[in-house]
Structures are given as structure tokens and as C-alpha cells.
Chain A
Amino acid sequence: MTSFKEKTKLFSSKDIKRIIYRLAHQILEKTPNSKELALLGIQTRGVYLAHRIKNIIREIENIELPLGILDITLYRDDLTAIGPKPLVKETKINFDIKDKIVVLIDDVLFTGRTIRAALDEIMDFGRPKRVELLVLIDRGHRELPIRADFVGKNIPTSTKELVEVKLEEVDKTDEVVILEPVD
């Protein structure tokens, strides 16, 4: 196993808060009829981001957006190739996604393979009117033709580095750091 050390700290808790507020406003700017909107967070940190966005939109528009949880493990394209099994976590979408404008939310956009899996899974729940993608960090290196509609920040990285998003709800702190391998 390669070990990693912190290279740069990108965002503090305050930065993250500002970014999420901006993203929430951008969602509403693009879809003024907020009744059509639904949020879908990808396990694990996408779910917490989705909750934060839901709370901000409630604050601004006084509307309760439907929020679903998506675990994409079963839709991965490398299930038989990876040794240790990733845990299959909960998937819960208890509203009808048919004709909804679904905002798919994840923390980091990298190869795009997670999003491909998520798109396939969404279609198994019904036919949304449109799917949009929101990510906190876009770090590049796409392996599939996928792009995000709402981006917190574009960060150029090398493929050897890791981008780690920490959120208060699971990690006790809000920050984004870039880790690089120790040689």
C-alpha cells in the first residue's frame, strides 16, 4: 500500500459553506420552477452535500425538495476486478422520479465512472425529465464523456494524487485536501 501525505489544503469550512450556497443558487437560477426539482446524493459524502443543499434551498425558496440516496456499488464496471468488496450501502428513493429534474450530487468528479453507474441506476427507478450533475470538486482525468453542470471548484491534479473531501457529518470537520504519495 502506498501511503499519502497532505500536499495542500484547498478549502476550509468557511470556503465550503460559501461554495455550497453558490451552487444552491445556481440550481435555482437554472430551474426557477423549483417544484420540478429533486436531489439525489451519491453515497457517502454526496448524501451529506445533498442534505446541505436541500436545507439552503428551503431557506431561500421555502420549499421542501425530495431527496434520495443512491449507492452505485452494484452498477460498477469493475465489480469482478476488485479484490476486497466495497460495501453495498443503502439506496433509498421514496418519491417518483418520473418527469423530475434530478440533480445528482457527489463530492469529487474524477474518471466519470461513478456517474455512469449512477445514471444507469437512476434509469432503473423511472424516467426523469432531465438529470443534472453537481460536484464539489472536479479534478479532471475523465475516462468517459461526462461533465458536471454545477461545479464547486475545478482543481488540476495529477492522477497519482488523491483529493479528500471531509465533511462535518462523517469526518468531524469540513475541509478539502490534496494528498500526494510518499516516495
Chain B
Amino acid sequence: MEIWAKKHILAIKELSRQEIEIIFNLAKSFKEIAQREVKKTPALRGKTVINLFFESSTRTRTSFELAAKRLSADVLNFSTSSSSLTKGESIIDTIKNLESYYPDILIIRIGYSASLEVLSRYTQASIINAGDGKNEHPTQALLDIFTVREFKDDLKNLNVLIVGDILHSRVARSNIFGFQKFSSKIRVCAPPTLIPYEFEKMGVEVFYNLDKAIEDVDVIIMLRIQQERQKLSFFPTLREYVDNFSLTQQRLKKANKECLVMHPGPINWDIEISSSLKDKLHPLILKQVENGLAIRMAVLYLIGTKKKDL
């Protein structure tokens, strides 16, 4: 028997190592369901799950949607482009309105960092964070760590390098918090303008030179250059960024032999990663997608079957 006490999943930072292990053990069992003739189990039958995306997303939203459906929940998709938010309704009003449907779980992606705690006051439902501004993206980090664990027996003292737009990246923050819980060693590498000042205090090693940073690493997580957030110039030209921070065959040779390269997607080929590495990366990225579904099923299951507080 496992004890699961959390009502919401808002941040990796708030999860204990033991809670992460519970999620991983479940995800391991859930992977098998995809192989069945009927890819569905009745665990969340009669539960209402709302995908509430105030920012665009394809893979996270579809992954959550399929995960909820595989557990037999009813799923409602709500995204800004097709909603009354474009007509000027506020986020809080939107949540209050949805409350009339008595949802059990809200999966929320939102542009404002660390805003979900506030939103949770306006709903009885549990909230799962699907990305909140620059703060966290817990399920992405969970699936990254889970995927690494399938290849590496022990995460302790593993050298994990995160490259790219650290400043705007909730994936980076969640991964740092997550891998640190398993005592991995974290390095980050980017132009100085893309690394927040406080990161050195988080116990990570900061590099501005990829050739140096990559030496002896076991895992590389490449982040997408978020061109939609690049209104200000953080580096002179894209060309210069590619020259200094793109992952190439040549650079990868300096990493450890069995080094894993991961990317949360979508990839800008020949910007973050040289397209000559496509064949090497594809199997792992597909594995991340497969594991992402299992992780999200696990999270939905734990939150959705939690006994209601009276």
C-alpha cells in the first residue's frame, strides 16, 4: 500500500524523492497498457478532466489527453485560441465558469510563473501543472528522469548537462530540481544573457563554453530556443548562437561514450542540434514521448483516485 497525500502537482520542487518513486513505479506498470488490444482501463471512469491551456501546446496537451482517456476519464479541451479569453474574459472567471461542470482535475498551462497556487483557490478540483511561465513543468522533468533511469542504473553523481535557453525554461528548472533529488550533478550552459543570476545558488555548475561543459557528461538535455520569447535580443545573431551552442557530432565526441541526448521537443534542427544527429536522437525522443504518456497516466491516477478531503 502506498500513501499519496498530494492534492495538486504544481512543482517537482514540492515532491519528495519517495513520491517521485511512487510515480515511476506506476508509470512502469502503465507502459504495458499501450500493448493491449483495448488500450483502456476503467480506473478514472466518471471523472472529468479539463485541459486548460492558456498557452499553445501540442505534445503536452495531446499526451495528457490520451493519458486521461486511457484511464477512462472524460476529457474537455480548452485552449485560448478557441475560447472566450479572446473575447476578454479573465482567467479567474474562466475557471469559475468551468467550476459549474464539477471537474475533478484541471491540467493547466499558463504564461504566468507560479500562478497556479492562486488559481487553486477558485476551484475544488485538483490542479496539475502543464507548464507555468518560467517556473516549472513537472511532468516533463519526471518523464526525462524516468527515461534516463531506463538506461542508467544509478543517477547518483551522474553528470547532467542542460544547454540552451535556461532563462525562459521551466523544463530546465524542473529538471534541475528533479535530478538534484537523485543526487545527480547538474551543469548548465548558455550565453550569459540566457542564464539567470540565481542559478549558481541552486548548486549547479555554470558554463558559457559548450566545448568545456560537455566534457565527461552522461546526459545532455537540449532546450529549444524559444523564438516566441525572444523579443529582446539575448544573443547577437542566431548564426552566432549556432556556432557556439549547437550540439554537433564533433562536440558530442567529448561527452561520455554512452551519453544520452534528450530534447523536450519541438526541435529546431540545425539550431539547437545538428541535423546530422537525427538518426542518433530519434529513438530516444520517441521513447520520451512513450514514457511521457505513462508518467502522465501515473500522475492522473494518483491525483484522480485520491480520497476526497471532507
The residues of A with any CB-CB pair to B shorter than 8 Å are 71, 74-75, 79-92, 120-121, 123-126
Q: Mark B22-60, 1 if CB is under 8 A from A, else 0.
A: 100110011011001110111100000000000000000
Which of B37, B40, B307 has a CB less than 8 Å from the CB of A82?
A: B307
16 residue pairs bridging A and B, Cβ less than 8 Å apart: A71-B29, A75-B43, A83-B3, A84-B1, A84-B2, A85-B2, A85-B4, A85-B302, A86-B1, A88-B29, A88-B30, A88-B301, A124-B36, A124-B37, A124-B38, A125-B38
For residue A98, which residue of chain B has the nearest CB? Answer: B37
CB of B77 within 8 A of chain A? Answer: no
B307 and A87 form a contact (CB under 8 A): no
A85's nearest neighbour on chain B, judged by CB, is B2
B155-169 interface code vs A (CB 8 A; 1 in, 0 out): 000000000000000
Whether A90 and B40, one on each chain, are in contact in the complex, defined by CB atoms closer than 8 angstroms, is: no
Known: A74-B43, A87-B2, A124-B37. 5 other contacts (CB 8 A): A74-B41, A79-B305, A85-B302, A87-B25, A88-B29
Q: Which residues of B contact A84 (CB under 8 A)?
A: 1-3
Residue from A83, A90, A123 within 8 A of B32 (CB atoms): A90
Q: Which residues on the B side are within 8 Å of A120 (C-beta)?
A: 42
Q: Which of A81, A90, A121, A125 contacts B307 (CB 8 A)?
A: A81
Closest B residue, CB atoms, query A71: B29
Q: Cβ of A90 and Cβ of B38 under 8 Å apart?
A: no
List residues of chain A with CB within 8 A of the CB of B3: 83-85
Q: Which residues of A contact B71 (CB under 8 A)?
A: 74
User: Could you tell me the distance between the alpha carbons of A75 and B301 in the complex, rounded to whole angstroms?
Assistant: 12
Complex partner residue of B305 from A71, A80, A123, CB under 8 angstroms: A80
Closest Cβ of chain A to B45, distance in Å, is 9
| Contact between A79 and B43, CB atoms less than 8 A apart | yes
Q: Is there an interface contact between A123 and B38, defined as CB atoms closer than 8 Å?
A: yes
Contact partners of B32 in chain A: CB under 8 A: 90-92
When A82-B307, A88-B26 are in contact, do A125 and B37 touch as well, CB less than 8 Å? yes
A126 and B71 CA atoms in complex are apart in Å by 18
Which partner residue on chain A sits nearest B45 by CB separation? A79
Q: Is the CB of A125 within 8 A of B42?
A: no
CA distance A81 to B306 in the complex (A): 8
User: Within 8 Å CB of A82, what residues of B?
Assistant: 307
Within 8 Å CB of B43, what residues of A? Answer: 74-75, 79
Taking CB atoms, residues of chain B closer than 8 Å to A126 are 37
Contacts of B41 in A (CB 8 A): 74-75, 121, 124
- Please, which residues of chain A bring their CB within 8 A of the CB of B306? 80
Q: Report the separation of the CA atoms of residues A125 and B36 in the bound assembly, to the nearest whole angstrom.
A: 6
Q: Is the Cβ of B305 less than 8 Å from the Cβ of A87?
A: no
**C-alpha spacing A101/B308, complex, angstroms:** 41
Decide if A74 touches B42 in the complex (CB within 8 Å). Answer: yes
Closest beta carbon of chain A to B21's beta carbon, Å: 12
Q: Determine how close the nearest CB of chain B comes to the CB of A47; give it in whole angstroms.
A: 14
Q: How far is the CB of A119 from chain B (nearest CB, A)?
A: 12
CA distance A126 to B26 in the complex (A): 24
A27 to chain B, nearest CB (A): 25
Cα–Cα distance between A125 and B38 once the two chains are bound (Å): 6
Nearest chain A residue, comparing its CB with the CB of B304? A80
A71 to B42, CA, bound (A): 13
